[in-house]
Structure formats: C-alpha cells, structure tokens
Structure 1
Amino acid sequence: MANGRIIEVNGIKVHYHDEGVGPALVLLHGSGPGANGWSNFVRNIAPLAKTFRVICPDLPGFGKSDMKPASSPIPGWWGDIIVGLLDKLSIEKAHFVGNSMGGMIALKIALEMPQRVDRLILMGPGGGFPVSSVFPTEGIKTLANFYDGPGPSLERLRGFINQFVFDPSQITEELIQQRLEAALDPRIVAQPPMRPGPAGMPEELWRDARLAKLPHETLIIWGREDRVLPLDTGFVLMKQIPRARFLVMPQCGHWVQWEHADEFNRTVQGFLTP
C-alpha cells in the first residue's frame, strides 16, 4: 500500500492520499471489513490524478485513520470530518465519488452543505431503499455480523469479498491479505465502525425531502449483479434527485471501480469534464 499523509481534523487524525493537480476530486470508500481508501480505489487514483487533484481518505474507523466515536451518527459525522479535511486543505468545492457507504456520506454532504459539492458520482450508494429486492441482503448481513460469533477470519473475509464482485477471479491474494490485516486491527475488532451505537442505525437519506431540490449534476452508477445493495435500491434516489443520471454496468457487482476500472475511469473523466 502506498504511503499517504496524516492531518488532524476536529481532533481526529485522518490518513489520506493526495495525488495530481487540477479540480479537486474526493474519493470516499465503502465500509466492508478491512476497507480503506487505497484498497477501494487503487485502480482509479493514478488514472484520475492525470486530470484531477485526487483526495482519497481513510474514513475514521478504517485504515490508518483514528477511530470513529461509537456515539457519532452515520453518515453525518463522517460528512463533517470530510468537509473539515477540505477546509484543512483549503479546498472550497470538490467533485465527489462515493462507493457504498462513501456514496451515502457524499450525498449527506450535498444535502447539508451543497455549496461544497460540484458534481456528484454515487456508486452503489447507501441511503436508498430497495423497491422489490429482499433486504437486508446476505452481503449486508455478512458485513454487519463479520466481527460477531466466531469473529473475523480469512475464510469469512474471502466469502464476504466474493459477494462484492461478479467475477471473484479478479480478487487478488494481495488484496485479501491487505484487507485481512486491516480488519484484524485490534482497535477495529474492539469497535467495528458500522456497528450501531447510541446514535442508532444509519440515516435513511431516501426519506429526506431535500433530495428533490439538490442542484448538483449527479451520476448514479450501479453494477447489475450487485449482491450487497441491489440495483433497485437506487431507483428511489434516481427518481428524487432532479439532475440524476443512472448508469447500469452489466456483469458487475458492488465494486464497479474495481471490476470495470478502465470504463469507470473513462466515465468519471467524461462526466466531470463535459
């Protein structure tokens, strides 16, 4: 894993990568065991940094960043940290790409502080609601229960990651070992970041009436075979956000940016530089 930088935001140390020159582009990762910014976007950072200043943090509770307080609300607390990071870096406005939980955080920032967001790419984001699919999915159950029962293991992690993709052969042993090492961090084992705390369950953003007034050009991307957050989870968001486009990737699971990296990178470049 490439080395990044560490900066303190609201008393929390945040580890992040800062690559390239140009308009600011923030990449926000998802919440699976062992997740961090680099492992989620390793196939995207360098190509996108040819055009943008790419900011890719480890969200607190993941990677090399400090822990997320158990009492902090999801996703609002993370949104405040990311905006604080931009303040520290003297970035007034940025494009956002959010995967899964990262998409939910990006959407929350757009709702609360729309002036800080330029264009918005939501990739299989949380915060929606399935129209017809059974929910929670097996992928969500595995994510939520990863640290319960027998606890984390290589076998459980491999099974979980295989649910993220259409073609598990794309998952490298290097990636699995990196994520296992991160997932076994004693801090995270003791306090899994997605375990509901005193603040309750993650906010249901699809219920927020402000979605209908979001001014941002928005691209929603979904893998057709997503087994974590099924495709129809995005329909409610697509219907509510006025300037939303919806792109479906065939033969693709929850990790569009990994399974279809080249097409994803081209799509992001095209949408953000029309």
Structure 2
Amino acid sequence: MTSTTAPPELRETTYDVAGRKIFAAETGDGPPVLLLHGGGPGASGVSNYRRNIGELAKEYRVIVPDLPGYGRSTKGIDSADPFGFLSDHIRGLLDELGLHKAHLVGNSYGGACALRLALDTPDRVDRMVLMGPGGIGTTRALPTPGLNSLLNYYTGQGPSRLKLEKFIRHYLVFNAAEIPDSAVDERYRASIDPEVVASPPLQRPSGPNALRTLWKMDFTRDARLDRLPVPTLVLWGANDKVNRPSGGRTLAARMPNCDLYVAANTGHWVQFERAALFNRICADFLAGRR
C-alpha cells in the first residue's frame, strides 16, 4: 500500500456505465484480467494492487477499476443489494471494454463483486481468484472485530485518521510495520471526500429491509454456489481478522471447481503482504498452469 499515484505506464480511462462514471487504469497485453479492490475506507484499485499490476502485466492485459463509490468513480451505491449493484456495473464495464469474457481477481469487497458476477452470469467469467472475499457466512455468526471496525468508520463521531490507522495496522495486515504513515495519510484523505462521507459505499444494512439485504449478501445461502462451473482459486490469510479464514473451506467444499490456498502469517490483504507468492500463483492459475 504505497502511493496511489498511477505509474506512467498505466493508461487511464473513465467509462460511462449505466449513467455512472467508472474509472479504470490499464496496462499489458494478453488475456484480460480485472483486479477488483476491497471496500476499506479510502480504497481504490491501483493502491490496492500496487504490488501486483506490473508482474501480472507481463502476461496479461490488466484492467484495474475503481469500484462504484470509490476513487475516481461515481460515488454512491444501491444499499438494498450492494454486491448486485457492483457486479452489474463491472459487467457493464466489460461491455464498454468490448469484452464478453475476462478473468476476475477480487479482494474482500471486490471478491464479493466477482463472485456475484460469476453466479449471475458465469459465461462472462473465464477464471476467478478470490482473496478473503466478503459475503461468506455473514449471517451465520457475529461480525469479526475487523469487519466491525470497517463498518463503524463513518458512524459515531465520524471518520478520523486514528480510526483508519487502527483498522489498517491492527486488522488489515499481519505485520503493521509494513505500512508507512504516508499510506495511512493517503487513505485518510480519500476517505473524507465529502461525497463519500455523505454516502459511504460500505455500510451496515438498516431499515425494514435490512434482513433481506443481509441474506442477499451471504453467498452461502445461494444454491447456485454448488453448481458454479467457473474455475476458482481462493486465497485466504490464516490470520485474517476481517473475514474469517474458515470461509475458504466453505467455498472449497461447496464450489465444484475450487482450489484453496491458506497463507500463514498473513492477514486480510494477501496480495499485498505475500505479493511474490500471490503474483506467481495467480498468474499460473489464470493460465491453467497447475
């Protein structure tokens, strides 16, 4: 999680998807791969995958969008069906890119987006890599301390640098020393964008339809999971404090074409903390090299 400034080799484009602006950075040639970022405060595509884009671009056309509600994309999402809203817009981005099919790589919130897109339209997904995805058993146990920290960021007295630093250093990664102060500062500045504060993209469901929304956000209640044909690799940090590592075993048991890799001494951000391992295993899996 270093600077979020895009390296000069990245081509930057803003696409019109269903009347909303979706920003995406792109580099490389080869089979298309979309890297979908997580949902923490101040997140964006390039900052989430800073340690991975260059390596994957040696073999793939790497496309890194800012998900709706984040970065340079239009703010605000449909809180009644967040994962469906995200996946609809990423599918629309594929259309704008002229791609019928692509590989999807998703971390946390982005993993939930990828999985929902695959469940709704499996013909649009070639292969899929999920790192600690959201929505795995979320209605079957109390939220983790890390998820509570994330969901509470905009509540109470509102966002603060201290709250964000605690989330990143204590819950997001295994080794807090790897996170420079400048990275926390960058994420904090992005998190207090007035449009984001007015409509946080990741919130605790509330209101009369909250239970229905929660059920939509729990993939373990979706019977389609048992017959999803998309070849999938699930990577999970053994020390993930945001999404429970047991979710990996759940997916491997339910999905008919799913491999699972659990990384020791690793938190929620596998692609950052174990970048060399992630880059190698991701590139090999997407290419069908076992």
TM-score, normalised to structure 2, is: 0.90
The 2-side partners of 1:14 and 1:72 are apart by 20
In the alignment, structure 1 segments of 5+ residues that lack a partner are none
Q: What residue number does 2:229 align with?
A: 215
The 2-side partners of 1:87 and 1:249 are apart by 34
Q: Does 1:244 align with 2:252?
A: no
Change (3 A) 1:72 1:17: farther
The answer to whether the 8 Å contact 2:138/2:218 transfers is: no
Q: Which amino acid aligns with 1:111?
A: L
Q: 1:15 aligns with which of 17, 23, 48?
A: 23
Q: Which amino acid aligns with 2:165?
A: R
Q: 2:136 aligns with which of 109, 120, 128?
A: 128
RMSD: 1.7
Post-superposition Cα deviations, 1:152-192, rounded to whole Å, max 9, x if no partner, equal 11111100001110100111222211111110100011111
The 1-side partners of 2:254 and 2:229 are apart by 12
Instruction: Map residues 1-274 of structure 1 onto 2, 5 A cutoff.
Output: 1-2=5-6, 4-129=12-137, 135-162=142-169, 163-195=171-203, 196=205, 200=210, 201-202=213-214, 203-273=217-287, 274=289
The 2-side partners of 1:172 and 1:86 are apart by 34
Q: Which amino acid aligns with 1:219?
A: L
The 2-side partners of 1:169 and 1:159 are apart by 13
- The alpha carbon displacement at 1:135 in A equals 3.0
- The alpha carbon displacement at 1:241 in A equals 0.3
Which is further off, 225-234 or 250-259? 225-234
- The alpha carbon displacement at 1:234 in A equals 2.3
Q: Which amino acid aligns with 2:162?
A: E
The answer to whether the 8 Å contact 1:17/1:56 transfers is: yes
The 2-side partners of 1:173 and 1:63 are apart by 20
Which SS does the other structure have where 2:82 is aligned? coil
The answer to whether the 8 Å contact 2:139/2:218 transfers is: no
Identity of aligned residues (%): 44
Which is further off, 245-254 or 175-184? 175-184
Change (3 A) 1:187 1:118: same
Count of matched residue positions in the alignment of Structure 1 and Structure 2: 273
- The alpha carbon displacement at 1:130 in A equals 7.2
Post-superposition Cα deviations, 1:196-236, rounded to whole Å, max 9, x if no partner, equal 36764352111111111111111010000001112112222
Which SS does the other structure have where 1:75 is aligned? helix
